[in-house]
Structure 1
């Protein structure tokens, strides 16, 4: 089967901007306090449950994967972009980073203790989100947790440049209630939600959801 065009666009675009992304995007230690608190709370949940490793899906250069590892979580990263994966491996050779798509994860059923989707689903067309969240549910162990964080709204963005480089991906910002509904349809129970207005480096409304697989 041919690869969906949006995956090709995301891979090629992030291969193009990988080095500039690393130079311009601040590390997790410089995130706002509420976002850091959500990551810390998620780390404690998965550590306490002890159900398996955490997959950081759309991990980019691996900084958040490494941040979770520093919080005592057995984490590994998955990204579509070979160049992003290469940068992650170079920065943290002690951690595992693999190429892959969240539309078809290589993990076995119930294998993961946690899933992190940190600003990595907004390039996915809405019609594909049920399939993506079904993959999250399939691979997460019963009792495992998902932390989703991303921009929210009601807008389709078609940028031609990012970080000073040409890109061909699109972004789809959805209302938070719709994201909650999609996760619930996939079989998750949403146990916490955080909405934040634009501020600092973040120019758009953004939100986090913590969900549990029963």
Structure 2
């Protein structure tokens, strides 16, 4: 997909500027989040059961989530816009692959991935720009492949911009996020809403989606019938 570069550049620059601090805060964050770990474990189990395909983390930052996916038995790699965060990821996890790039334009073939994790990365995409990202997620996932989204939820309200500590970000109603994905052949497997813990400001939304294999089959090219 073609992408406007202004908000992508601004996001990368903002994370580059705070890369070390952000990595220090994020590195051990899963330890106190049992519900988050639970939905990640379900995602990993479903992807493993579907067959041996690679999994991408879109917006991997300092790489701790990509490493967690690896620890859950997945062939995981990460993609991020921020060179500074990728430098940290490669240093902390030298056995994993991390690529500079946008989750709106993966350098992978159509249908190559068995799973895709977007963990609080779609939050920085301006709402009018978000639908094409789901089209890209559909492109890179195999029919039946799984998508897991983590984001800040707007608690029943509209999409809301908020003062994220790094760069502008948006809170989404979970139903609206599911509807956007549904327009690109994703069907919902499950969802998890988590209330904010101490030190957190907002409810967290998590959507586990699957690329509809029936729709993919019906729209794929077919061999012409014999005369």
Distance 1:2 1:204, change over 3 A: closer
SS in 1 for 2:44: helix
2:210 matches 1:212? yes
SS in 1 for 2:125: coil
Contact 1:51 1:141 in 2 (8 A): no
Equivalent residues in 2 for 1:125-144 (5 A)?
125-144=126-145
Q: Which runs of 5+ in 1 are unaligned?
A: none
Distance 1:112 1:31, change over 3 A: farther
Cα deviation, 1:130-158, whole Å, max 9, x if unaligned, reads 10010000000011101111111131124
Distance 1:176 1:138, change over 3 A: same
* Residue 181 of structure 2, aligned match among 165, 174, 183: 183
| CA radius of gyration, larger in | 2
Number of matched pairs: 207
Please tell me the root mean square deviation across aligned C-alpha atoms, in Å: 1.5
Q: Which runs of 5+ in 2 are unaligned?
A: 213-227
TM-score under structure 2 length normalisation: 0.87
SS in 1 for 2:124: coil
Deviation at 1:49, TM superposition (A): 0.7
Distance 1:71 1:192, change over 3 A: same
Alpha-carbon distance in structure 2 between the residues aligned to 1:76 and 1:92: 11
Q: Which has the higher contact order (CA 8 A, sep 6+)?
A: 1
Runs ≥4 in structure 1, deviation > 4 angstroms? none
Equivalent residues in 2 for 1:1-214 (5 A)?
3-153=4-154, 154-159=159-164, 162=165, 167=166, 169-214=167-212
Contact 1:51 1:112 in 2 (8 A): no
